[in-house]
Structure 1
């Protein structure tokens, strides 16, 4: 059983930082392991938030999922550097065309070709490169996940950086199936979605799961019966999520963390 305390749930343990490009600033929060030793290398967990948490306050991106990584048992069993970047209000992680009809229904049209990244994705790629080169990241154990818009961003970032991550967990996201072949055989995925999601239909994840399997990939697919768009509430409570994540290293490396 996980032990929870007021201190463990203090989101201020996530330090406020900013990644600066020539034209943009990407806010992000970073949680270091307990007794962090800068001379050691730690796994990285990069988590991408949804559209509702966009902005520049460097706070909203912690609304979903951040508390899980503060659980004392998790911090002791799985010491890692956890990063939550924040997408600007006027941008999007993935390069997707969203069309809203007169009734307010939205359709998500993912690009088949790998086009120029959005401003947010371009900044995210820069931040990822900076983290990789920081000297404190174990490049064999870099993990990626995200929810809704961040689930879409997870699929897109995997396509853009297919050799970077050891495992990934997209939640209620989607992407173009053509991109799956670039990373399908390189890393395992655990995909989550709500059965009755009224914002991003579960079929968006099913399409990606089918494409990954068709390309020879290793993918788990969990669909929560009767659950709408908030499938992240259930995914972040999965007791096996972090053990599953940390059981993987990049292919070509032996051993389990």
Structure 2
């Protein structure tokens, strides 16, 4: 069983048990969680209205772009990240844009890998809420 299958089974369980607007489910994570954000959104885009990976190293199967082109994405990365190089996130954003996607990308000047302070930014939550599946 693929890890994404386990996560979607968990998500299905949560969505069935709680009053959740299924048109406004968002996915975010930092570092390894950012990698998982890219991967899970690629594998199961039907669940997510928008994603925000932070300090990630997007390693995606060959067909990633087809699933992510129309998805609202706002990625963040520290300019001086010594753990996951900025160039990898830049390459993903560039590839999405070349394919016709329009992801937002914020490079945080003079910051390294630990950029979870992004979650204190109300603009991120306003942006999430402005996006819906339908």
User: With structure 1 as the length reference, what TM-score do the two structures score?
Assistant: 0.48
SS in 2 for 1:249: coil
Aligned to 2:93: 209
Question: Which one of 31, 41, 45 corresponds to residue 148 of structure 1?
Answer: 31
User: With structure 2 as the length reference, what TM-score do the two structures score?
Assistant: 0.89
Bigger proportion of residues as helix: 2
Work out which of the two has the higher radius of gyration on C-alpha atoms and give 1 or 2: 1
What 5-or-longer segments of structure 1 have no aligned partner? Answer: 1-115
**How many angstroms apart in 2 are the aligned matches of 1:125 and 1:159?**
12
Structure 1 stretch 219-228 or stretch 132-141: which is displaced more?
Answer: 132-141
**How many angstroms apart in 1 are the aligned matches of 2:69 and 2:103?**
9
Aligned to 2:19: 136
How many pairs are equivalent?
A: 132
Equivalent residue runs for 1:16-95 within 5 Å: none
Question: Which one of 35, 54, 57 corresponds to residue 174 of structure 1?
Answer: 57
1:163 CA displacement? 1.5
CA RMSD, 1 decimal: 1.6
What 5-or-longer segments of structure 2 have no aligned partner? Answer: none
**How many angstroms apart in 2 are the aligned matches of 1:158 and 1:135?**
21
Aligned to 1:188: 72
Aligned to 1:244: 127
**How many angstroms apart in 1 are the aligned matches of 2:112 and 2:40?**
25
How far does the alpha carbon of each residue in 1:32-84 deviate from its partner, in whole angstroms, 9 at most, with x for none? xxxxxxxxxxxxxxxxxxxxxxxxxxxxxxxxxxxxxxxxxxxxxxxxxxxxx
Aligned to 2:48: 165
Alpha carbons 1:163, 1:183 under 8 Å: kept: no
Asked which structure has the greater RCO (Cα within 8 Å, sep 6+), the reply is 2
How far does the alpha carbon of each residue in 1:1-58 deviate from its partner, in whole angstroms, 9 at most, with x for none? xxxxxxxxxxxxxxxxxxxxxxxxxxxxxxxxxxxxxxxxxxxxxxxxxxxxxxxxxx
**How many angstroms apart in 2 are the aligned matches of 1:227 and 1:212?**
24
SS in 2 for 1:248: coil
SS in 2 for 1:222: strand
How far does the alpha carbon of each residue in 1:174-210 deviate from its partner, in whole angstroms, 9 at most, with x for none? 223531221221x211100000100111112112111
Bigger proportion of residues as strand: 1
